[in-house]
Amino acid sequence: MLRTNSDSKRLLTKTIIMERRKFVKSVGLATAAAYIGQKVLANEQSTVKSSVIEGKPAAEFPPLPYAYNALEPYIDARTMEIHYDKHHRAYYTNFLNAIKGTPLEGMALSAVFASISKQPDPVRNNGGGYYNHLFFWNNLGTGSAGPSPELTAAITTAFGSVDKLKEAFSTSAKTRFGSGWAWLYLNAEKKLAVGSSPNQDNPLMDISTIKGTPLLTLDVWEHAYYLKYQNKRADYVDAFWNIVKWEEVNARYQQALKG
């Protein structure tokens, strides 16, 4: 029987700790360390291995790597809460249901996407929705130092300057008709490129018109910005550059060059 407010707070804390322990046990320490987000401040620039994000789906829905209000004022807390807890969670649950009992169960996401053209729509849409959002949360944060010297050099070669890259990426994001995602990716020739994908598609999918290793993404579905920005997608896209976690992009670029 709970008698006081502090009793219920203690119980809540205890429950959270137990949930985290269960989570650590189910996914292993390294994966859990990457995901146990509430403890990771947005400006602590630890990065997540792409093998974690592109590997097998987590046994439990991965926690957001920061608090709902961490990206204020650029993305508001209410949008983050609905986006993470409703939209992303639904993709995760529906994806697990879609692959249950099939040969896809236990496969890495990268392998599932490589032959997605042979899979039914629920696998494509929910698998993409699960992966794209997981990727997106991890490439957002505050207090980033910017692209590394290596990445800056590659950006300059491909686009002319970092500002020109931002312009090209933003144009992709602003001009994607309907719902979809903008991407910076490393293509098969190991060159940087930008583009956009419809719905929940991504550059890892064999059916995608843009193909390669994703380095940075932006969700341009209306649910990602409508509460704060309404119809002004361009303002949301411009605000995005304040919360890019370049450390993640730098790390992914290094891994993609080796891969």
Binding site for Mn ion (CB under 5 A): 219, 221, 224
Distance CA 92, CA 132 (A): 11
Nearer to Mn ion, 31 or 79 (CB): 79
In the complex, minimum distance from the CB of residue 179 to Mn ion, in angstroms, rounded to a whole number = 8
The b-or-e profile of 208-237 (16+ CB within 10 A means b, else e) is bebbbbbbbbbbbbeebbeebbeeebeebb
Region of 99 (left: φ > 0; alpha: ψ -120 to 50; beta: rest) is: alpha
Nearer to Mn ion, 201 or 219 (CB): 219
255: tokens are: 């891994």
**What are residue 195's DSSP bridge partners?**
183
- Residue 39: alpha-carbon gap to chain centroid: 18
Indicate the SS3 state at residue 192.
strand
Nearer to Mn ion, 219 or 247 (CB): 219
Residue nearest to Mn ion (CB): 219
In the complex, minimum distance from the CB of residue 217 to Mn ion, in angstroms, rounded to a whole number = 10
Give every CB contact of residue 102 below 8 A, 6+ residues apart in sequence: none
Nearer to Mn ion, 80 or 224 (CB): 224
Q: How many residues does the chain have?
A: 259
In the complex, minimum distance from the CB of residue 79 to Mn ion, in angstroms, rounded to a whole number = 10
In the complex, minimum distance from the CB of residue 224 to Mn ion, in angstroms, rounded to a whole number = 5
Distance CA 256, CA 239 (A): 27
Sign of the torsion angle spanned by Cα atoms 186, 140, 196, 161: negative
In the complex, minimum distance from the CB of residue 202 to Mn ion, in angstroms, rounded to a whole number = 12
The residue ranges of DSSP E strands in the chain, in sequence order, are 180-186, 192-198, 213-219
In the complex, minimum distance from the CB of residue 211 to Mn ion, in angstroms, rounded to a whole number = 22
Nearer to Mn ion, 130 or 185 (CB): 130
Nearer to Mn ion, 224 or 244 (CB): 224
